[in-house]
Amino acid sequence: MLYSTGSDAIFNHINPFTPLLTTNYMENISKQIYQEASDEILIQQYKAGSQDAFDVLYQRHLPGVYKRVRCVIPENDVEDVTQDVFIAALKSLSSFRGDSQFRTWLRTLTNHKVAEFYRKRTRKQEPLLAPLSEASGRMEGATSQVLEERIFIQNALKKLPENYREIILLRFAEDMQFNEIAELTHQNLEASKSLFRRAIAALRNHLDE
């Protein structure tokens, strides 16, 4: 099942008079309920056949995924790679067992899709970073200097070891606080800050090259 329509079991469960209500009214109410539901409940509802549940998951997590992808992928390909992430999520959500948080699972999926993007580019022998002229077409208001700097930094980020790149993206792209990063990576706060400092130092070395 890929993005199929189906019954909204959560709503049916709550309201025993479902057949008496109009479909639109039901849809609006179920969407409202979904907005407040946790990721776990939404995943269960999606598995039960609710497309609305996935829509809410998408709207909730798109900004984070998009921002992370935007930090490491050339501007022209950001939306395609973001779509790849959510299509992959749709395909494998039925096998998601909930051992980790959905956000963590989605982050891993995003990293895989970013790596796949660069693998494909390398195979096709395309330039790893889009030309400045291409990128500027997509980004209104950004000066060429800013774009050049962004491309330069993306390139440097790509060269970093995975744990260094990850901690920079968690702080800058996902706006996670250091204590949250420490919790996520099962480290103490001091170790996380130390890793961050080393990551920034490595990035600086690449930028100075």
Residues that bind another protein (CB under 8 A): 2-3, 55, 58-59, 62-63, 66-67, 70-71, 79, 82-83, 86-87, 90, 146, 149-150, 152-153, 168, 171-173, 175, 177-178, 190, 193-194, 196-197, 200-201, 203-204, 207
Q: How far is the CB of 13 from another protein (least distance, A)?
A: 26
Query: Terminus-to-terminus CA distance in the chain, angstroms?
Result: 49
Nearer Cβ to another protein, position 18 or 103? 103
Strands (DSSP E) along the chain, which ranges? none
Helix (H) or strand (E) holding 47: helix 39-47
Nearer Cβ to another protein, position 158 or 193? 193
Burial letters for 96-106: b for 16+ Cβ neighbours within 10 Å, e otherwise?
A: beeeeebeebb
Nearer Cβ to another protein, position 21 or 201? 201
Q: How far is the CB of 53 from another protein (least distance, A)?
A: 14
Closest by CA position to 199, among listed 164, 163, 173: 164
Tokens representing 1 are: 């099942």
Q: How far is the CB of 156 from another protein (least distance, A)?
A: 9
Nearer Cβ to another protein, position 100 or 179? 179
Task: Report the length, in residues, of the chain.
Answer: 209
